């Protein structure tokens, strides 16, 4: 992967009992938090990528995408937090799964990230990346719309 490339990522907002599911980096000089999910591969729809990534990160198999929340285009300075790229499109979906609940232990499947729950209101006070998502997530969750995303790949 090249630093001057643009990456497309599908990210999940999973909320349970006022808490949001987050990932925390474990393999970088400075830890930060981010939404579960990851890269959309060539020929893969964003929703398929998100379901695949959630399975890889949490072991959850039965994931339901409730709705598309929004997209954030973000560019940042290259550095340890942007080893493979520095410009990305984050497609954010609200997601549910019976396996992704605060009272169910989520296995730590990948060595480089920790999966954890945090009160939604607390994301404003942490090193959460990309940073603009802190406020956008809260805004998008308050809006009541369901048909804002269309993919010709579905």
pTM for the model: 0.88
Percent of the chain whose pLDDT exceeds 70: 84
How do residues 100-118 score in pLDDT, each as one tens digit? Answer: 999 999 998 999 999 999 9
Domain-wise residue ranges, the chain: 6-142
pLDDT at 51 over 80: yes
Q: What span, in angstroms and rounded, lies between the C-alpha atoms of 126 and 11?
A: 18
Q: Please answer whether residues 106 and 10 qualify as being in contact, where contact means their C-beta atoms are separated by less than 8 angstroms.
A: no
Domain 6-142: assigned CATH number: 3.90.79.10
Residue 9: pLDDT band (50, 70, 90) is very high
Higher local confidence (pLDDT), 82 or 92: 92
Q: 13-27, 79-93, 116-130 — which is least confidently predicted?
A: 79-93
pLDDT at 27 over 60: yes
Picking from 23, 35, 20, 17, the residue whose alpha carbon sits closest to that of residue 91 is 35
Q: What span, in angstroms and rounded, lies between the C-alpha atoms of 92 and 47?
A: 10
Q: Please answer whether residues 36 and 56 qualify as being in contact, where contact means their C-beta atoms are separated by less than 8 angstroms.
A: no
pLDDT at residue number 46: 96
Across 27-41, b (16+ Cβ under 10 Å) vs e yields eeeeebbbbbbbbbe
How do residues 137-149 score in pLDDT, each as one tens digit? Answer: 988 888 877 666 6
Q: What span, in angstroms and rounded, lies between the C-alpha atoms of 147 and 136?
A: 18
Over residues 18-28, mean pLDDT: 95
Over residues 16-34, mean pLDDT: 94
pLDDT at 2 over 60: no
Higher local confidence (pLDDT), 52 or 135: 52
Residue 1: pLDDT band (50, 70, 90) is very low
């Amino acid at each position: 992967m090249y630093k001057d490339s643009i990456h497309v990522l599908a990210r999940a907002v999973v909320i349970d009992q006022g808490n949001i599911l987050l990932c925390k980096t474990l393999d970088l000089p400075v830890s930060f938090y981010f939404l579960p999910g990851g890269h959309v591969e060539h020929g893969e729809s964003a929703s398929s990528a998100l379901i695949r990534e959630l399975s890889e990160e949490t072991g959850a198999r039965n994931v339901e995408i409730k709705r598309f929340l929004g997209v954030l285009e973000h560019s940042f300075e290259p550095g340890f937090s942007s080893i493979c790229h520095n410009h990305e499109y984050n497609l954010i979906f609200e997601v549910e799964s019976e396996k992704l609940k605060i009272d169910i232990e989520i296995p730590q499947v990948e060595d480089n990230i920790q999966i954890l729950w945090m009160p939604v209101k607390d994301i404003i006070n942490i090193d959460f990346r990309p940073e603009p998502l802190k406020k956008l997530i809260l805004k998008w969750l308050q809006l009541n719309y369901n048909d804002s995303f269309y993919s010709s790949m579905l």
